[in-house]
Structures are given as structure tokens and as C-alpha cells.
Chains A and B, each alone.
Chain A
């Protein structure tokens, strides 16, 4: 239905002036609830009808008012207008709009709280994931480095020029050290020395394992076994008949403490 056309049809004026029949009135009341424009047009016509009537009023003869009051005054109640709760002048439409606005505000506030909570949860989860991701990345880097080391170690070990010297604790004469095991990989070309601590107890605080090369029957310092993972790169040794490890104070010593001999093995 064309609302504009309906408003201009005269149906509204007919209704307001009381000329519409029951069916026309029912139709208009239904339409006015569905279409605010029609409601507005009704309000506007009623308002101009009232203004026109007030502007063209004909004062009634004196005495009518007195007769009326005489007739009705028994029903009058004195209302103190000043103490009456102030009534804000609003028309029906404004009231509906105000009610709708309040409802929308409450709904909106509720949604704000709900969405804020959702947002906060999501942000926390996101940060947790971010931390997890970073630690995984770091672990991954460590694993890669370790993997690369192992690869290089395997390359080195499988080189035919590299000699493998197994050192065991069996020769130390100390029962607790009998199961100790360590391996030296010695490159006969480059003279590089690598040490793998297969089975060595954790060095106590302030102590480190020190590798010795036995050259012409004398111990030569071959370096300290630090925090290295897997294979430890030691000092280069040009010639040796055997390798041994002692537990020494951190940083190493010039001469091995023989009572602290952990493992020994011949080349």
C-alpha cells in the first residue's frame, strides 16, 4: 500500500472528524500502528483542528460555568497542583520512543558487558597462545641446533680419518667409576679432538671434567668439558697413546689429580 497516497486520501480527516464507518476506522487504527507516518499525519491534523477551534472559539454566555460548577462541585477534590508529581509533557509517540530508547540502552549496555567479557577472554587466550608459540619457536631453534650438531657429529664420526678412542672407568680401580664411559674422536688429519661423555656423572658444583692426552707417557691438557651438548670440541692433539679424564676444579689444572681419574682408554 502507498502510504503517501493513503495519507492524502482524506481517510485520516474522515476518521478524526468521526465520519468514518466502523470498518474504515478499524483499518486506519491498524495502519496507524504499523506506519508512524500515518500516526504523525493523524496527530498533525488533530493538532491543527484544535488550533483552529481555539483560534475561532465563541465565548459561551456567562452563567454556564457557574451552573456547571454548581452541578458538579460535590464531586470536586482539591488537588494541590504544586505538590503533584511533575508530569513531563510528552505525547504518545515520544513516550514510545523514550521507552524504546531506554530498552535499547539497557540491551546495549548488557551486550557491551557481554562482548567486553568475550573480548577479554579472547585477548587472554591470544596472549597465552602467543607465549606458547614463542616458547615452541625457541624450543624448535634449540632442537634444530642440536640436530645440526648431531649431523655434524655423525659426519665427523663416519669420516675414515677419525679414530674412535673408548675410555672406560674399569681401569680406575674405584668401584663407583667402573661403569663410566666416554669417547674421544680424534681426527688424524686435522688433529681435532672431540669428546662424548657417554656415561659420566654430573660434575659437582665448582668442578669440571678435564681431558688429558698421554703423550710419551706424560699427561697433556686437552681442554675442559664445558656445557657443550653432545660432542665437545677439545684442544687439538698432534699425537697421543691414550686419553684420560679427571675431575678437577672448574677451569682446569696443570697436572692431573690421579685419584680423580674417571676414565682412561688407549688409542
Chain B
């Protein structure tokens, strides 16, 4: 979806803070698809992804006052809300199922989804799938499943330094690949 921009980021933030309904709709029209894509990468189940997306836009609407433009772009801020919300949902789901560690590990090493939609072939996850195995597994755990680097070191029995180095090397690759 190619978007023709009407507002600058500064305008968007300012008008959202002024509680503009029109601008909120504009934000949804332009960014919902991009955020939906990352949520699908993590949640995989479409109905749940829609719920998360709705939740994410409510958070954006309520928390826009907390956005600090000196720390990064509006999209980066929204992307992080989407990612965190999706990971939270997956974790609570897995917690309910009481099979957190087992199922996560299976997903990672099988490299596929156990549910209806294969969301590995969309958005950022498609890029991550093209990385070397040793980098892919660690970035999957870190970015799409929300494990800290410490936790990953324990999970994989790799030294923390190695985990950091491989993740960073993978991200440099990722940076090259998403450059248009």
C-alpha cells in the first residue's frame, strides 16, 4: 500500500494531541496496514491480530501525549507499541495454555506457523527469514517473541556476547535488505 502523505509527522502529532478525529482516521488509514503486518508476524491468528490492532490504536490515541519526538519517529513509536502489544497477547495466551517454552521453541526451530495463516512471508519477518540460520533464530526470539538477550543466552546456551554479536550482525544484514 503506497501512501500519499498529507500531513507531516509534526502536524500529525500536534493534531492528534488536539484530539482531531479526522487526523486519527487519517493515521489509521495510512498506518493500520503497516502495523497489522507486524502484529500478524507475531500473533499469526487473524482475529486476534485484529483485536491487537484495535488495542494498539486505542493506546496510540490515549498515549500520544507520551510520545517524545526527540527519541525517534512517530512510526517507530507506534511500531514498538504494536510489537509489545502483540508479544503481550502471545505470552498471555501461552501462559493460559501453560506450554510457553515448549511451543515457542517448536515454532522457532520449525520456522513455521502452526496456525492457519503463514505470516512468515509478510513484512519484516520475511526479511528475517532470509538471514543466516544462526542469526535468524536469535532475532526471531528477540524481536518476534520478545525475549531479552540474557534470556536468549540462557535458552540457547550461548554466551551473551555471542548472542549480541549475532543479533547485531543479523540486523546489519536486515538494514541492507529493507533499504529501498
Contacts and interface: CB of A to CB of B under 8 A. Distances in A.
A79 B18 contact: yes
B10 interface: yes
B171 A13 contact: yes
A56 B11 CA distance: 24
4 tightest A-B CB contacts, nearest first: A10-B168, A57-B33, A76-B21, A89-B8
B155 interface: no
B90 interface: no
A84 interface: yes
B147 to A, nearest CB: 10
Contact of A14 (B22, B32, B58, B168): B168
A67 B21 contact: no
Contacts, number: 171
User: Chain B's interface: helix, strand, loop or mixed, by majority?
Assistant: helix
A91 B8 CA distance: 9
Contacts of A77: 18-21
B72 A46 contact: yes
Interface stretch (B35-43, B94-102, B103-111): B35-43
Interface of B: 1-3, 8-11, 14-15, 18-25, 28-38, 40, 46, 50, 53-54, 57-58, 61, 69-73, 75-76, 79-80, 83-84, 122-124, 126-127, 142-143, 148-150, 167-172, 174-175, 178-180
Contacts of A60: 32-33, 36, 50, 53
A69 B53 CA distance: 13
A53 interface: yes
> How many A residues touch the partner, as a band?
35 or more
Contact of A10 (B123, B171, B180): B171
Interface of A: 8-11, 13-14, 16-19, 21, 29, 42-43, 45-61, 64-65, 67-69, 71-73, 75-79, 81, 84, 87, 89-92
